[in-house]
Amino acid sequence: MTCLPGKTDKALGLVIDLDTCVGCQACVTACKGWNDQGYGAPLSDQNPYGAEPSGTFLNRVHSYQVQPDAAAPMIVNFPRSCLHCADAPCVTVCPTGASYKRAEDGIVLVNEDACIGCGLCAWACPYGAREMDADAGVMKKCTLCVDRIYNDTLPEVDREPACVRTCPTGARHFGDLADPTSAVSQLVAARAGYDLMPEQATRPTNKYLPPRQKDRPDQASLLAPLLDIKATGFAGWLDRVLGKI
């Protein structure tokens, strides 16, 4: 079970556009809301109104500053959840088989009924995608909303992850990354989507789209269109301008 299935029929995953994510945290609470009542144990909160609240979240949005050498500094918002790695180390370390990668679609799941809460899989994940629920004592992680995407009690359009459905800017995309013709694969190809920490050899399924080139270089050529009227004095100006009608 904790052996990886090798090649999966599909590689379902997310493509996250860092050029568009405004860091609104909508995907964070949509994920919490959905998973609080869905797959497995609820996502508990400790001390919810206390001095040191803490709780289980399957998706967290960070924010980084990037300071290029010769351009304006940037802020990049950065959602982080399970990447459903092809070579998922979290799966192979699991002693109980609770952690597994589905052969049919590559989704990495925890079977909570079998999880002993040893925490080893969370150690093995380089991306911090697993959180042990303090109430239930089982490992929680992004399920890729497996209970939405195939859910035939939901209308067809809604069979996508809760975080994707809610993202106001459309920065999150869901699809089959094993199929080169899928919209997500094409997006990844067009926008040079990349893997996080490739050196960790996990071969993530999820891809990130880099921020587009920002901020115009200070070049003067853009000014050209503004130079086609030159006149001296207000009357001359008026003449030239109104002469254009």
Partner 1 sequence: MNQPFVNTSPQVSDEIRQTTCYMCACRCGINVHLKSGRVSYIEGNRDHPINKGVLCAKGASGIMQVTAPSRLRAPLRRVGPRGSGAFEEISWEEALQTAVDWMRPLRDTAPEKLAFFTGRDQSQALTGWWAQAFGTPNYAAHGGFCSVNMAAAGIYTLGGAFWEFGAPDWERSKLFVLFGVAEDHDSNPIKIGIGKMKARGARVIGVNPIRTGYNAVADDWIGITPGTDGLLILSLIHCLLESGKVDLDYLARFTNAAYLVNSTDGPNKGLFVRNAEAQPFVIDRRTGAPAPWEAKGVQPDLGAVWQGHRTVFQHMAERYLASEYAPEAVAERCGVTALRIRQLAAELASVAFDQAVEIAQPWVDFRGDEHATMIGRPVSFHAMRGISAHSNGFQTARALHLLQILLGAVETPGSWRMKPPYPKPVEAHPTPHFVSVPGKPLSGPILGYVRGPEQLALRPDGSPARIDKAYSWENPFSAHGLMHMVIPNAAAGEPYRIDTLFLYMANMAWNSSMNTAQVMQMLTAQESDGSYTIPRIIYSDAYASEMVAYADLILPDTTYLERHDCISMLDRPVSEPDAAGDAIRWPVVELDRDVRGFQSVLLDLGARLGLPGMVNSDGTALYKDYAEYMVNHLRRPGVGPLMGFRGTGAEEGRGAANPAQIARYIENGGFYQAHVPEAASFFKPWNMAYQEWAVEIGLFDTPQPYLFNIWSEPMRRFQLAAEGHGPHQPPDHLRDRLRQAMDPLPLWYAPFGDADERFPIHALTQRPMDMYHSWGSQNAWLRQIRGHNPLFVPTKLWKEHGFHEGDWARVTSANGQITVPVVHMAALNPHTVWTWNAIGKRKGAWALNDGAPEATRGFLLNHLISELLPPKGDGMRYSNSDPVTGQAAWFDLRVRIERVPAPDGGASLPAFGAVPRVVPEGGAK
Partner 2 sequence: MNPAPSVIVFTVLSGMGFGYLALLATFHDYSGAAAFWHWAFGYVLATIGLMASVFHLGNPQRAWRAFTQWRSSWLSREAWGAVLTLLAFAPLALSDWLGLGLPRGFGWLGAALALATVLATGMIYAQIRAVPRWHHWSVPLLFLAYAVAGGCLLAGFRVSAILALVAVAITLWLHWRIGDGAFARAGSTLGSATGLGARGAVSVFEPAHTAGSYLLREMIYVVGRRHVPKLRMLALGAGVAAPVLALLLVPGTAGFGLAILLYLVGALAQRWLFFAQAEHVVGLYYGKR
Binding site for partner 2 (CB under 8 A): 1-3, 18, 52-57, 60-69, 71, 73-76, 78, 80, 89, 91-98, 114-120, 122-128, 131-134, 136-139, 194-201, 208, 210-211
Q: Is 242 in the site for partner 1 (CB under 8 A)?
A: yes
- Which is it for strands 207-209 and 12-17: parallel, antiparallel or unpaired? parallel
Q: Is 220 in the site for partner 1 (CB under 8 A)?
A: yes
Minimum CB separation of residue 74 from partner 2 in Å reads 7
Q: How many other C-beta atoms can be found within 10 angstroms of the C-beta atom of residue 69?
A: 4
Candidate residues 37, 69, 181, 232; the one interacting with partner 1 per rule CB under 8 A: 37
Interface residue list for ligand SF4 (CB under 6 A):
21-27, 31, 34-35, 58-59, 61, 77, 79, 81-85, 88-90, 93-94, 96, 98-99, 108, 110, 115-121, 125, 127, 129-130, 139, 141-145, 161-163, 167, 169, 171-172, 202
Q: Phi then psi for 223, rounded to 5 degrees?
A: -75, -20
Do 109 and 146 form a contact (C-beta atoms < 8 A)?
yes
- Cα gap 98→164, rounded to integer Å: 26
Q: Phi then psi for 163, rounded to 5 degrees?
A: -70, -35
Which amino acid, one-letter code, is at 61? V
Q: Which residue's CB is nearer to partner 1, number 17 or number 89?
A: 17
Specify the DSSP element, H or E, that contains 233: helix 233-242
Minimum CB separation of residue 155 from partner 2 in Å reads 32
Do 110 and 47 form a contact (C-beta atoms < 8 A)?
no
Handedness of CA 189, 214, 173, 209 (dihedral sign): positive
Q: Residue 110: which residues within 8 A CB-CB, separation 6 or more?
A: 40, 98, 99, 100, 121, 130, 138, 139, 140, 141
Minimum CB separation of residue 221 from partner 2 in Å reads 25
Q: Is 92 in the site for partner 1 (CB under 8 A)?
A: no
Q: Which of residues 116-175 bind partner 1 (CB under 8 A)?
A: 146-147, 149-154, 157-158, 162, 165-171
Which partner from the list ligand SF4, partner 2, partner 1, none does 84 bind, CB cut-off 5 to 8 Å by kind?
ligand SF4
Minimum CB separation of residue 183 from ligand SF4 in Å reads 17
Which partner from the list partner 2, partner 1, ligand SF4, none does 62 bind, CB cut-off 5 to 8 Å by kind?
partner 2
Minimum CB separation of residue 173 from partner 1 in Å reads 10
- Cα gap 208→193, rounded to integer Å: 5
